[in-house]
Amino acid sequence: MQSVVLSALSSGAGGLLPWLPIAIVAVLVAVVLATGYVKSPPDQAYIISGLKKESRILVGRAGIKIPFLERLDKLYLGQMTVDIKTEQSVPTNDFINVNVDAVAKVRIANSPEGIKLAAKNFLNMRPEKIAAELQDSLQGNMREIIGTLSLKDINTDRDSFSDQVMMKAARDMDKLGIEILSCNIQNVTDENGLIRDLGADNTSLIKKNAAIAKAQADRDVAIAKAQADKAANDARVQADTEIAQRQNELAIKQAELKVEADTKKAEADAAYEIQKQEQQKSIQTATVNAQIAKAERDAELKKQNVEVTKQTLDAEIRAKADAELYRQRQEAEADLFRRQKDAEAERYEQEQAAQAQRVKAEAVRFAKEQEAEGIRAVGEAEAAAIRAKAVAEAEGIDKKAEAMKKYGEAAVIEMVMNALPEIAKNVAEPLSKVDKITMYGEGNSAKLVSDIVSSTTQITEGFASGMGLDIKSLLIGALGGKLAAGNDVNITLPEPDKE
């Protein structure tokens, strides 16, 4: 059995011998990878040096370090706080000793050149050690800046002071591969309490300014309040004034509207009255015209009667007729004149009344137009009836006059003959009214008869001269005719009463 195993091993070893160097190499590579693999965090720089002239820098990435041939060094890249405090008093440019306490934030420059410079000075140091190494350099820079500034500038403009410290220290820090992120002045003190005194002065000044500001503010508040009160009072007065004006305007407008309404109503009433008066005036005018026409026709008829009477009567009848015609004419003219004047006066009064009432009729004129049309139609109908009656009467008078013109000379003579007794009677009539006549001397009775006959003769002669007829010739001719015919002619004169 042992011989079998040995034979198997010998045969297996013979098969593995060709692969042995490869296995050894693989094992060595695995060991190198296991022991030489490195990976740097973001806040640190891994520096691998040894084989090459230039070191390899790993920041936040992985790399391979060959064991026994290369070495690995670390450099902290994170932010570091450096306390910068002047251990002894430092004089300012105005020779005042001050102590300044400041804090600076620094880090290794994040660049290959900065890392290489920092590696020469701070390789494998802890952050506290690096801050301690930088403290002396930053303190020296701050001392230099303090010597160039006054106490007042350091206290009042600390931002400028810290900027100057950063600018001064940056040149030195760049040589070390350090970057200054910030520098803050925390406290400034002096040995003699000048800063406190300046604070007291400033406090007093601030209090003074505050008191002045308060007084000015109170004054401004009082002025503003007074102005506001005045403005409010002015606004109130203006508002009251505007309200009063508006109310006054409203009252005036209401009064104007009332006046306008009353005016329109008055115009309507006046227009209605005017229309009514116009209708009545038209009726009255037509009536007057008809009456005038009738009077003219009557006058014409009377004139024709007088003309006929002139041919039939003697001078007294004609004179009487002329007198009657003149009287009637004068009465007609007077009546016509009176009517015209009355119509004009009435029309003037109506026009004056209409002028006052015209505005009243304007509103109801349309409503009254139909009624006015009815009144006008009635008036026109009445006027037409009156006019037709007057025309008919005038035509009758004309016809009567024409008939009388046709009587001829015989009729005239007959009428004259018939009228002579009446003429004589009328001449003697005044004597009939005398109660007693006393005559003296002889021939008085004959003289009375002679006067009566003379008066009659004068009447007949006047009638003849007015009518153009020779009454005597007509009478002689008529008497001659009657005598030739054997007729008796009897002329009876009334006898006057004698006492």
Amino acid at 31: V
Residue % of the chain over a pLDDT of 90: 6
| d(C-alpha 476, C-alpha 458), whole Å | 17
Residue 361: its pLDDT value, please? 64
Q: Are strands 90-91 and 178-190 parallel, antiparallel or unpaired?
A: unpaired
Closest CA to 461 of 421, 426, 499, 416: 416
Residue 447 reports pLDDT greater than 80: no
Residue 129: its pLDDT value, please? 93
Residue 410 reports pLDDT greater than 70: no
Residue 400: its pLDDT value, please? 57
pLDDT band at 104 (very low <50, low <70, confident <90, very high): very high
- pLDDT tens for residues 240-297? 888 988 888 888 888 888 888 888 888 887 777 787 778 787 787 878 787 888 888 8
Residue 402: its pLDDT value, please? 64
Residue 408: its pLDDT value, please? 53
pLDDT band at 108 (very low <50, low <70, confident <90, very high): very high
Residue 473: its pLDDT value, please? 66
Residues forming beta bridges with residue 45, ordered by sequence position: 59, 75
pLDDT band at 10 (very low <50, low <70, confident <90, very high): very low
| Residue position matching structure tokens 């400033």 | 202
Task: Report the predicted TM-score, pTM, of the whole model to 2 decimal places.
Answer: 0.36
| Mean pLDDT score, 127-146 | 90
| d(C-alpha 319, C-alpha 313), whole Å | 10
| d(C-alpha 101, C-alpha 165), whole Å | 13
Per-residue DSSP letter, 492: -
pLDDT band at 82 (very low <50, low <70, confident <90, very high): very high
| Mean pLDDT score, 24-30 | 75
The separation between CA 298 and the C-alpha centre of its own chain, rounded to angstroms, equals 74
In 10 A of CB 286, how many CB atoms?
19
Residue 336 reports pLDDT greater than 70: yes
Angle (CA) 478-483-485 rounded to 5° is: 95
Map out the domains of the chain with their CATH numbers: 2-75 (no CATH), 78-192 (3.30.479.30), 269-405 (no CATH), 409-485 (no CATH)
Hey, is 359 helix, strand or coil?
Answer: coil
Hey, is 452 helix, strand or coil?
Answer: helix
Phi-psi group of 486: left, alpha or beta (phi > 0 → left; psi -120 to 50 → alpha; rest → beta): left
